């Protein structure tokens, strides 16, 4: 195909440059005639110009004959390129559908594994990039540069989706680190109100992110944040100075777990009590 495109380009250049070359030859001929009148130019030089005119006319006829000869081949390759591009579009649609089923759309997959698998998508897209370059070049040479546009847009959409998912997992990584920090904070020195403000701000950022908000990954971190936004106000209530031993004993009975409220108690211990299941009971105890 490269040889055919090369021949086609050369043939077209003959016709595209016709006016420019003829004008230059005319100017050269007129100049030589003027020089000849003043005895500066020789007859042989004038004859050489006429020879150039003849050779260019022969070249144009040859180009016309070659164009006629290669037209069926050009049409055949053009049709082949069109079919290849259609197949590429179908492959990209199938790839997009398959990608949506991958593990990095599942919250349980975790940050590290999800980022690794998202990184592999970039390598897979290089195959499509190579085809777009080849098919796009051929389509352009056959006069149909817009044929490859849909494929280019499809790959751009996939890349944008991947970047959005990477951003989402980056967010999840930072938020999980923050949650872990909260978990390890000591009960007596924890600041639930400040934590709650931080989580609310992060929740706002999550809602503004450009990503698939219906995917399990998004829903997973959203549910975790919501749990904390329920849990932290409970902690504020339980940290109230009016809490007495009888209140704590009532809470232990309700959650059926024993624990000691001292400087060794950390927020993880309280979180693991699953107080979210006992909202009304906690509110009643802390009133």
Query: For position 185, what pLDDT does the model report?
Result: 94
**CB–CB of 155/132 below 8 Å?**
yes
> Which are the contacts of 229, defined by CB distance < 8 A and separation ≥ 6?
196, 199, 200, 203
Is pLDDT larger for residue 33 or for residue 282? 282
Length of the chain (residues): 287
| pLDDT surpassing 90 at residue 23 | no
Q: Break the chain down into helix, strand, coil percent, rounded to 5.
A: 80, 0, 15
| pLDDT surpassing 90 at residue 95 | yes
Dist CA 16 CA 161 (whole Å)? 44
**CB–CB of 158/95 below 8 Å?**
yes
pTM beyond 0.95, yes or no: no
Which stretches does DSSP call E strand in 83-234?
A: none
CA dihedral over 176, 181, 184, 188, signed as positive or negative: negative
**How far, rounded to the nearest angstrom, does the alpha carbon of residue 287 sit from its chain's CA centroid?**
52
Tell which residue, 120, 126, 128, has the closest CA to residue 87: 128
Query: For position 227, what pLDDT does the model report?
Result: 94
**How far, rounded to the nearest angstrom, does the alpha carbon of residue 108 sit from its chain's CA centroid?**
23
**CB–CB of 63/9 below 8 Å?**
no
Q: What is the pLDDT of residues 27-83, one digit of tens each?
A: 877 787 777 777 776 777 777 878 888 888 888 888 887 888 877 777 788 799 999
Dist CA 124 CA 91 (whole Å)? 12
Dist CA 199 CA 175 (whole Å)? 8
**CB–CB of 274/197 below 8 Å?**
no
**CB–CB of 192/233 below 8 Å?**
yes
Q: What is the pLDDT of residues 103-121, one digit of tens each?
A: 999 999 999 999 999 999 9
What are the b/e assignments for 89-128, b being 16+ CB within 10 Å?
beebeebeeebeeeebbebebeeeebbeebeebeeebeeb
Q: What is the pLDDT of residues 212-243, one digit of tens each?
A: 999 999 999 999 999 999 999 999 888 888 88
Least confident window among 6-15, 19-28, 160-169: 6-15
């Amino acid at each position: 195909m490269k040889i055919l495109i090369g021949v086609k380009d050369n043939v077209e250049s003959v016709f595209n440059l016709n006016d420019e070359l003829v004008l230059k030859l005319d100017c050269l001929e007129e100049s030589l005639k003027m020089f000849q009148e003043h005895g500066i130019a020789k007859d042989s030089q004038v004859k050489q110009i006429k020879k150039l005119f003849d050779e260019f006319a022969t070249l144009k006829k040859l180009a016309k004959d070659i164009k006629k000869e290669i037209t069926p081949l050009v049409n055949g390759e053009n049709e082949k390129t069109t079919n290849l591009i259609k197949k590429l579009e179908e492959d990209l649609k199938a790839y997009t559908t398959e990608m949506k089923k991958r593990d990095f759309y599942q919250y349980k997959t975790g940050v590290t594994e999800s980022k690794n698998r998202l990184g592999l998508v970039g390598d897979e897209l290089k195959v499509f990039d190579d085809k777009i370059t080849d098919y796009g070049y051929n389509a352009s040479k056959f006069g149909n540069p817009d044929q490859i546009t849909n494929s280019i847009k499809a790959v751009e959409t996939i890349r944008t989706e991947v970047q959005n998912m990477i951003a989402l997992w980056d967010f999840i990584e930072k938020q999980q680190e923050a949650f872990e920090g909260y978990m390890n904070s000591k009960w007596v020195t924890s600041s639930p109100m400040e934590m709650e403000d931080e989580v609310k701000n992060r929740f706002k950022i999550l809602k503004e992110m450009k990503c698939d908000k219906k995917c399990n990954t998004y829903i997973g971190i959203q549910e975790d944040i919501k749990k904390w936004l329920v849990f932290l106000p409970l902690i504020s209530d339980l940290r109230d100075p009016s809490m007495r031993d009888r209140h704590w004993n009532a809470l232990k009975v309700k959650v059926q777990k024993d624990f000691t409220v001292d400087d060794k108690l950390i927020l993880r211990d309280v979180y693991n009590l699953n107080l979210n299941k006992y909202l009304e009971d906690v509110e009643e105890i802390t009133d």
